[in-house]
Amino acid sequence: MAILINRDSRIVVQGLGRSGLLHARSCREYGSAIVAGVTPGKGGSAVDGIPVFDTVTEAIRGQGATVSMIFVPPPTAADAILEAADAGIELAVCITEGIPVRDMVQVRRALQGGTMRLIGPNCPGVITPGQCKVGIMPGVIHRPGSVGVVSRSGTLTYEAVQQLSDAGLGQSTCVGIGGDPIIGTGFIEILQMFNEDPATESVFLIGEIGGNAEEQAAVWIQRHMRKPVAAFIAGVTAPSGKQMGHAGAIISGDKGLAGDKIATLKACGVQVATSPARMAEALLNALTP
């Protein structure tokens, strides 16, 4: 088993332009079922063997798409997310960076009570090693296994996965939830899925400065998690008021400090890596009785 995606997932690419096609090919080469693309006005054509439709509804009707991978540019990406939801897509993974916060406020409100789950935006995607990849992550570093990975950072996810794979710790599913202030799915929701997934035996969590999602996750872990959890928090030396990478990675006043997040995680029983070079080591320590 796995969470979110598996070898049966059927993927439609919204925004099959240069970037969308590049990563659609990469996902297909990994073994993912890329069954359709959506480009309004190009319906009835095909790109590199991928049939193109004008709407997501047509892609579902024609190819049985269940998952959308979104590469639509920022000004219209919110509309693409809502189109996927209205069409009945089960899971949307939005890679697009730079969607206006106001647009995402409206998206989150519109998705409440609906059936579609959104991962992202501004995320690297989701991968279940050996089965399916939906996003931009390098599939070659992943190995099938039992470690669930959930992260706000794409680059640190790749570093953590490489370390885990080198240490013989394969992954069940890796989820990049995104680094924007407003995202579709947060840490706690992914932790809940990993907690219930028989294929996941431990979890590695990667957080960063800004907001309080990591502190909330730490409390949830202490109260509910039945599996070992290790973590790394980026931005220990970040100055207040300066954005570090992601739009959501910013310390406002005394809120969102890395030190506070680390202290809360430790207090809740989570093994925290002391540097990005020691992430696999932290999980191995968490697995040691």
One-letter amino acid of 199: A
Counting runs of H as helices and runs of E as strands, what totals does the chain give?
9, 14
Which residues are within 8 A (CB) of 148 and not within 5 positions of it... i.e. 6 or more apart? 3, 171, 172, 173, 174, 175, 190, 194, 197, 200, 202, 203, 204
Check 23, 142, 224, 246 and give the catalytic one: 246
Cα–Cα dist 204/157, whole Å: 10
23 is catalytic: no
CB-count burial class (<10 Å; 0-12, 13-18, 19+) for 35: buried
Distances (CA, A) of 279 to 129, 173, 190, 229, 240: 19, 17, 19, 11, 25
The closest alpha carbon to 174, from 193, 141, 150, belongs to: 150
Query: Judging by DSSP bridges, how do beta strands 202-208 and 67-70 pair with one another?
Result: unpaired
Tokens 């399916």 belong to residue = 132
User: How big is the CA angle at 204 (ends 221 and 254), to the nearest 5 degrees?
Assistant: 65
Cβ 268 vs Cβ 222: under 8 Å: yes
- Please list the active-site residues: 246
